[in-house]
Each structure stands twice: as structure tokens, then as C-alpha cells.
């Protein structure tokens, strides 16, 4: 069950929702959720502060762009602070934004792949010309 | 009679973590005699923090002393109240939105936080309360044994109870009595009563005081609790699903509930309920009750009143209003409670007072919290 369901249908408080979301999964996001829960519980911090601290911890491990970190940070600021319907639509909206970022990254990768392929061909030709 | 847990421990573990910083410190520095007797902590934006204790309003000082003069108090801000509510909501307004809209949140231990501010209304329904300006932390106390002396009068046989209505004005302990009766009816009494399946409809979370679905109060081993639902819907659900022998509910009196109450009784299920009121006669003409009285639904009435200022009088009557028994108990307010002097409280407890208040030798409390 994803985080939106945990919040919208189960109505679990955020800490419980993050813990539930992290269980039975082994993805980077589930690790992030569990860490937020742990920081919040162990350090008696609000979820928003725990979320930001967790971002700082994960910055060294996740190879994502500044824009994506900003989006993730925005989620921490809003989670828990509105009613169920608003939380649900916010999560959907952020999901859409992340999908867009993913698409952009994919396009970027394809473009760069082409570029490196062309560079490779040109480099090969240059070597051949030099050798001749 | 004994408390299930130490009153002080319950306040320290359940309530204090949510309080704004300076209130937390002040409460922790209170005389233990006051701390264990707190009934309410009143927080109002821009106003002195108050405690309701021994039936009096006491002004809380920053150092944990208490006063009667408001000038000795300290205030809290609206932001602090807002932060406190967010913390109580476990950083998740959405999970407590219905409670906020109803005006109270039940926390672990069954303590209730009442809140008021500016309601946000949509289509005639409150969808939120913003600008929270006052919080009332009501300390829950479970008094096991409160109804021991009168519970036997509602037993019809070793396997059945009478339909019973507990009547009292607000704040006299009718929910406490109901809770104690539920526990006894559910558990049974060896050799006297076998115990029955009890379905509890806890519309306002006061009977079982559920926290994350788990009753915080002991309601007995054969008790099923439906939490936070209207009495009408709750009774219908219990009828359909849980085959209870007894249905217990708090604050009967909504005319909409009458048909379902009659349905419950026609199904052979016993009802134990409470009602706001002073006496049986006063209820007879009230909408929501007149139909039930006409049908002679109730076979026992338990009326709670205060006698001579500080003594409870619990009167049990049959369906015709004939008095069967009268039980008297001391209220929690000490008979010889002294006025505060320079922020310190002097109590000379009487030996016969209930064991949750000091017993034995005279104790002079000096405000040091020891």
C-alpha cells in the first residue's frame, strides 16, 4: 500500500504511515521513510524536521538533481499539515512532478547517449585518419 | 477503592510531553499533592495558565507555585497552542480532523484535550477549527470500585441485568459509574454474577477512551467497543454484528435514538445508559425520554447528587421510582482544604479520605514538589 493510501484510506498518523510504508519493501524510498520515522521517534522531532534531516543524510547517496531534492523537501513541509483530501491531492501532484522529472532525466540520458555515441564515432574516425 | 495507575505517572507520561515548554516546566515543579489532583489544565492564548484542582481555579506560576491572583501567572501564545495541537495530532492533522471538528482529541491514557477557536464551516458543517485560542486538558481518572456498592442492585439474576438509567448533572461522575458498572457486568462476580457480553458505544471517547483503537480504560473481558460513532448507528452495528447481552452508552437523550433503543430492548438486549438530569421526574417529560418512560423501558434508576457540599449520594430506584438503596461517598475535595498562602498549599488530610489522596499523618507541603 503506498503512502497516499496509508494517509487517505487508513488515516494513520504520519509516523505510523511512514513506518507501514517502509515495511515489506526494500526500495530507496522505503529506506528514506523508515529513517524519517526513526529520527522523529528517537530525537522527538516533528516529522517536518525529521524529513529535512533525513534529506541531509541521503544527499550523499542519491544521485539526483537539485530540483528533485527541492521537490522532496517540499513534501516534508506539507505532509501532515492539511486534511486527508488535500494530503491526497498534494501527494498526487508531487507524484506528477516527479514523473515529469523522471521523463526529463530519461530524455536527457537519451540525448547524452546519442551525443556520446556520435562523439565515439567521430573520435574513432579521427584516430583512423591520424593513423592513415 | 484504588486507582489503576498512579495519577502522577499518568500525567507525566501522557500529558506533560504535549505541553508548551514553560507550562511543562511549571507543571513538573508542582507540589505532588496538586499534581495528582489536577482535573484540568486550561491554556488560553494571552491569558494566565490555570489549573482546576480541588474544585477551584488555581493560577499556575512559572516556578510551579500556584496562586489565586492572576497577576502571578504567565501566559501562552496562540502559536504555542497551535504547536501543541499539532504535536497532539502526531504531526498529522488529517488523522485527527474529525476529532478537531468535534472540538476534542482523546490522547493516550484517555485524557481529553478540548479545543476552541474559529470554526471553518462548509455547507453548514464544521470542516476545521483555525486560530485555536483555548485548550482544556481534562485529566482522566479511572476509579475502579466506584460502583461496587450499588452494582449488585442492577443484577436481575446471576445471568441477567435490569435496563438501567444513570442520572446526574454534569461532572458528578456518571460516566465513571457507568464505566465501573460495565467492567463488573462484563467480568462478572464469582458466585454472584456470571458476566455478560457488553457492547459499548463510545460516541465521545469518554467511556473506553480509545487511543489508536485500544481502550485505555479497563472495561472488562467480555466488552466490545465501538468508538466515535453515533449511538444510533452504533446500536445498529452491535445488534447486527456482536450479539451483545448488554449495550452500554453515555448520554442518552437524542430523540433520534428512541426507535433504535426500543429496537434493542425488543431484541432482548439490556441497556445501561446515562442521562444528564437531576431526577427521574425531570426526565419524564423530556423529548427523547418520554417515549421510553411510556414504554416502561427502565427497571432501575441510579441518581447521583451532591449532599452537604462534599458528599456524593447515589440513590438506586426501581422502575416505579421506589428507593431501593442510598450510598454516600466523599468527594475528592478535601473537607479541610486550606487557602493558598504565598504560592504554597497546605493540606491536612483526613485519615478516612480515599487512598488516592494523602492518608495518615498530617502533611505540610512546602511547594518544593517533594
Q: Residues A97-120: pLDDT tens digits?
A: 989 988 988 888 888 888 888 888
pLDDT at B210: 84
Q: What is the mean pLDDT of residues B269-295?
A: 90
Q: What is the mean pLDDT of residues B13-39?
A: 90
pLDDT at A48: 92
Read off the pLDDT band of B367 (50, 70, 90): very low
Across-strand partners of B106?
B112
Contacts 24+ apart (CB under 8 A), B332-338: B332/B37, B332/B54, B332/B356, B332/B357, B333/B54, B333/B55, B334/B54, B335/B310, B337/B54
Evaluate if residue B220 carries a pLDDT over 90.
yes
C-alpha closest to that of B5 among B311, B272, B209, B213: B209
Evaluate if residue B272 carries a pLDDT over 90.
yes
Cα of A120 to nearest chain B Cα, Å: 54
Across-strand partners of B119?
B129
Evaluate if residue B342 carries a pLDDT over 80.
no
For B76, phi and psi rounded to 5 degrees? -120, 155
DSSP string for residues in B15-43: IGGGS-HHHHHHHHTS-HHHHTTEEEEEE
Distance from C-alpha of B102 to C-alpha of A113, rounded to nearest angstrom? 59
User: Which residues 113-132 on chain B approach chain A with CB closer than 8 angstroms?
Assistant: 127-128
Distance from C-alpha of A29 to C-alpha of A16, rounded to nearest angstrom? 15
C-alpha closest to that of B261 among B221, B228, B290: B290
Does B97 contact A14 at a Cβ distance shorter than 8 Å? no
User: Which residues 74-113 on chain A approach chain B with CB closer than 8 angstroms?
Assistant: 79-84, 86-87
Q: For B174-209, how does the pLDDT look when each residue is reduced to its tens digit (9 = 90+)?
A: 888 999 999 999 999 999 999 999 999 998 888 898
Evaluate if residue B217 carries a pLDDT over 90.
no
Mutate to test the interface with B, among A11, A37, A43 (most CBs of B within 10 A): A11
Read off the pLDDT band of B159 (50, 70, 90): very high
The mean predicted confidence, pLDDT, of chain A is 88
pLDDT at B189: 92
Q: Which of A89 and B345 is assigned the larger pLDDT?
A: A89
| Range of weakest confidence among A9-13, B51-55, B269-273 | B51-55
Does B94 contact A12 at a Cβ distance shorter than 8 Å? no
> Which among B86, B90, B94 has the least Cβ separation from residue A83?
B94
Evaluate if residue B365 carries a pLDDT over 70.
no
Does A40 contact B91 at a Cβ distance shorter than 8 Å? yes
Which of A101-115, B24-38, B73-87, B323-337 has the highest mean predicted lDDT (pLDDT)? B73-87
The interface predicted TM-score of the complex, written ipTM, equals 0.79
pLDDT at B359: 35
Q: What is the mean pLDDT of residues B303-314?
A: 74
pLDDT at B140: 81
Q: Which of A44 and B165 is assigned the larger pLDDT?
A: B165
pLDDT at A1: 52
Evaluate if residue B333 carries a pLDDT over 70.
no
pLDDT at B297: 92
C-alpha closest to that of B250 among B269, B230, B270, B265: B230
CA distances from A61 to A24, A28, A35, A39, A108 (A): 22, 10, 14, 18, 21
Cα of B98 to nearest chain A Cα, Å: 10
Read off the pLDDT band of B355 (50, 70, 90): very low
Contacts of B96 in chain A (CB under 8 A): 13
Q: For B249-262, how does the pLDDT look when each residue is reduced to its tens digit (9 = 90+)?
A: 999 988 889 999 99
Does A15 contact B93 at a Cβ distance shorter than 8 Å? no
Distance from C-alpha of B286 to C-alpha of B183, rounded to nearest angstrom? 29
Evaluate if residue B48 carries a pLDDT over 90.
yes
pLDDT at B88: 94
Q: What is the mean pLDDT of residues B345-359?
A: 39
The count of other CB atoms within 10 Å of the CB of residue B251 is 18
Which three-class secondary structure state does DSSP give residue B334? coil
Read off the pLDDT band of B354 (50, 70, 90): very low
Read off the pLDDT band of B321 (50, 70, 90): confident
The answer, as to whether pTM is greater than 0.90, is: no
C-alpha cell at B330: 466523599
Q: What is the mean pLDDT of residues B160-169?
A: 94
Which three-class secondary structure state does DSSP give residue B13? helix
Read off the pLDDT band of A77 (50, 70, 90): very high
CA B216 to chain centre: 12
Q: For B49-85, how does the pLDDT look when each residue is reduced to its tens digit (9 = 90+)?
A: 999 887 788 999 999 988 888 888 999 999 999 999 9
pLDDT at B310: 58
Cα of A41 to nearest chain B Cα, Å: 11
Amino acid at each position: 500500500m503506498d503512502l497516499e493510501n496509508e494517509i487517505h484510506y487508513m488515516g494513520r498518523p504520519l509516523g505510523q504511515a511512514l513506518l507501514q510504508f517502509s515495511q515489506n519493501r526494500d526500495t530507496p524510498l522505503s529506506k528514506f521513510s523508515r529513517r524519517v520515522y526513526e529520527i522523529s521517534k528517537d530525537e522527538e522531532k516533528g516529522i517536518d524536521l525529521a524529513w529535512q534531516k533525513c534529506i541531509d543524510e541521503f544527499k550523499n547517496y542519491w544521485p539526483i538533481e537539485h530540483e528533485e531534492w527541492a521537490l522532496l523537501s517540499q513534501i516534508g513541509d506539507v505532509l501532515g499539515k492539511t486534511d486527508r483530501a488535500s494530503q491526497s491531492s498534494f501527494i498526487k501532484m508531487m507524484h506528477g512532478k516527479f514523473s515529469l522529472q523522471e521523463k526529463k532525466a530519461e530524455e536527457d540520458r537519451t540525448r547524452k547517449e546519442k551525443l556520446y555515441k556520435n562523439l565515439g564515432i567521430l573520435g574513432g574516425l579521427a584516430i583512423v585518419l591520424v593513423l592513415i | 477503592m484504588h486507582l489503576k495507575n498512579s495519577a502522577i505517572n499518568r500525567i507525566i507520561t501522557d500529558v506533560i510531553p504535549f505541553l508548551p515548554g514553560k507550562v511543562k516546566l511549571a507543571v513538573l515543579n508542582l507540589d505532588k499533592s496538586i499534581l495528582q489532583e489536577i482535573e484540568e489544565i486550561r491554556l488560553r492564548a494571552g491569558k494566565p495558565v490555570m489549573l482546576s484542582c480541588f474544585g477551584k481555579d488555581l493560577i499556575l506560576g512559572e516556578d510551579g507555585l500556584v496562586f489565586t491572583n492572576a497577576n502571578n501567572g504567565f501566559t501562552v501564545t496562540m502559536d504555542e497552542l497551535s504547536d501543541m495541537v499539532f504535536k497532539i495530532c502526531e504531526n498529522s492533522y488529517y488523522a485527527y480532523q474529525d476529532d478537531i471538528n468535534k472540538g476534542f482529541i482523546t490522547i493516550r491514557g484517555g485524557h481529553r484535550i478540548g479545543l476552541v477557536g474559529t470554526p471553518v464551516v462548509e455547507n453548514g458543517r464544521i470542516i476545521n477549527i483555525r486560530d485555536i485560542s483555548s485548550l482544556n486538558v481534562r485529566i482522566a481518572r479511572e476509579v475502579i470500585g466506584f460502583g461496587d456498592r450499588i452494582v449488585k442492585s442492577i443484577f436481575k439474576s446471576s445471568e441477567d441485568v435490569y435496563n438501567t438509567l444513570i442520572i446526574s448533572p454534569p461532572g458528578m461522575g456518571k460516566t465513571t459509574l457507568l464505566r465501573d458498572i460495565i467492567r463488573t457486568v462484563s467480568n462478572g462476580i464469582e458466585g454472584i454474577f456470571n458476566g455478560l457480553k457488553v457492547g459499548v458505544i463510545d460516541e465521545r471517547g469518554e467511556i473506553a477512551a480509545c487511543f489508536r483503537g485500544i481502550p485505555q480504560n479497563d472495561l472488562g473481558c467480555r466488552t466490545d467497543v465501538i468508538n466515535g460513532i453515533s449511538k444510533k448507528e452504533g446500536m445498529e452495528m452491535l445488534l447486527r454484528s456482536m450479539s451483545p447481552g448488554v449495550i452500554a452508552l453515555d448520554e442518552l437523550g437524542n430523540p433520534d435514538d428512541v426507535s433504535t433503543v426500543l429496537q434493542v430492548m425488543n431484541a432482548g438486549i439490556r441497556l445501561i445508559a446515562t442521562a444528564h438530569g437531576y431526577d427521574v421526574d425531570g426526565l419524564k417529560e423530556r423529548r427523547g425520554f418520554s417515549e421510553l418512560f411510556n414504554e416502561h423501558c427502565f427497571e432501575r434508576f441510579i441518581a447521583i447528587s451532591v449532599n452537604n457540599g462534599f458528599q456524593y449520594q447515589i440513590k438506586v430506584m426501581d422502575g416505579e421510582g421506589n428507593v431501593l438503596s442510598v450510598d454516600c461517598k466523599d468527594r475528592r475535595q478535601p473537607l479541610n482544604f486550606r487557602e493558598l498562602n504565598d504560592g504554597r498549599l497546605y493540606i491536612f488530610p483526613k485519615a478516612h479520605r480515599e487512598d488516592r489522596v494523602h492518608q495518615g499523618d498530617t502533611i505540610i507541603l512546602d511547594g518544593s514538589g517533594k
